[in-house]
Structure 1
Amino acid sequence: MEKINCILLIDDDPVTNYLHESLIHSVLETAQILIARNGEEGLKLVDKGCSDGEAPALILVDLNMPVMDGIGFLKRYKQWIEQYPSSSVVAVLTTSTNPRDIEKVAQLEIAPLLPKPLQEEHLQTLVETYWQRKSSRSNL
């Protein structure tokens, strides 16, 4: 599977972050994993960039968090990418089955919704879908 240089996990639960970080390391080759505890911290890390100065290639954001939730992060991130175009892939992780939550994410049109905790097959599908698409575009 293709190497992803930097991944950002945004979730207020340290156990979930540990599980997701372990899963990522077991499935993907990655140079760096950044962790934020809420959307506000996540935006700061996106703005700061990874050790190579680039925005994270993959951002996994929880929906329900204190300070700034996933919807707040997605709205602000959408504004950020209008100013600083990015090829980051964003996915929302949630346990919510609330139709309102699902509709809010869908309206923003920037992130697929995945069940939480992240499973290996979802991570592989996400990476294969987006990185194969990027690779095929760069070969044109």
Structure 2
Amino acid sequence: MSHKIGLACIIDDDNMYVNLVKRIVEAKNLCNNLMVFQNGKDALNYFEAILTNLNKKTIPEIIFLDLNMPVMDGWEFLDNFTKIKNKLGKTITLYIVSSSINPVDIERAKSINTVKDYLIKPVTIEDLEAIFLKKTL
């Protein structure tokens, strides 16, 4: 049985990309709510705070993570998030979304169990629909 994604999360400091994804998600009605963090530190603080009050409605089902951000980059976020994700009690599908086409970055990301896939910016409407609709099967 399929269900609509309740909450998705974008961790990215690129406002143009974030606004594009927001518009696509809203126009295609791909999920109920979308949360956005400008850097990995703010996102990690959010997830660590959830550990004290496990309300599964506040835990996203999908995370889109950029690698190159200020304060805390995507790699550092991944290192820390991997340590706490199992304590959240919910399956979270994480995608790296980066402008980096460096094969080293791609292979490194794909070698991390937490990462479902690596998408190169700009993502397309078809990319997002495939992710959200596959998730609901």
Q: Deviations over 1:41-85 (max 9, x none)?
A: 111233445x86431111111111111111111121111113333
Structure 2: distance between partners of 1:20 and 1:47: 25
Q: Deviations over 1:88-118 (max 9, x none)?
A: 1111101111112112201212221012122
Identity fraction in percent: 26
8 Å contact from structure 1 (residues 46, 56) kept in 2: no
Cα distance change on mapping 1:28 and 1:75 into 2, 3 Å = farther
Once the two structures are superposed, the pairs formed by residues 128-139 of structure 1 within 5 Å of their partners are 128-132=133-137
Aligned to 1:84: 88
**Alignment length, in residue pairs?**
132
Structure 1: distance between partners of 2:45 and 2:29: 24
How far the C-alpha of 1:29 sits from its partner, in A, is 4.0
8 Å contact from structure 2 (residues 61, 93) kept in 1: yes
Structure 2: distance between partners of 1:121 and 1:48: 34
Aligned to 1:117: 122
Aligned to 1:61: 65
8 Å contact from structure 2 (residues 63, 92) kept in 1: yes
8 Å contact from structure 1 (residues 38, 69) kept in 2: yes
Aligned to 2:111: 107
Cα distance change on mapping 1:48 and 1:26 into 2, 3 Å = farther
- Local SS of the residue matching 2:91: coil
Q: Does 1:93 align with 2:97?
A: yes
- Local SS of the residue matching 1:79: helix
Cα distance change on mapping 1:115 and 1:67 into 2, 3 Å = same
For structure 1, which runs of at least 5 residues remain unmatched after alignment? 133-140
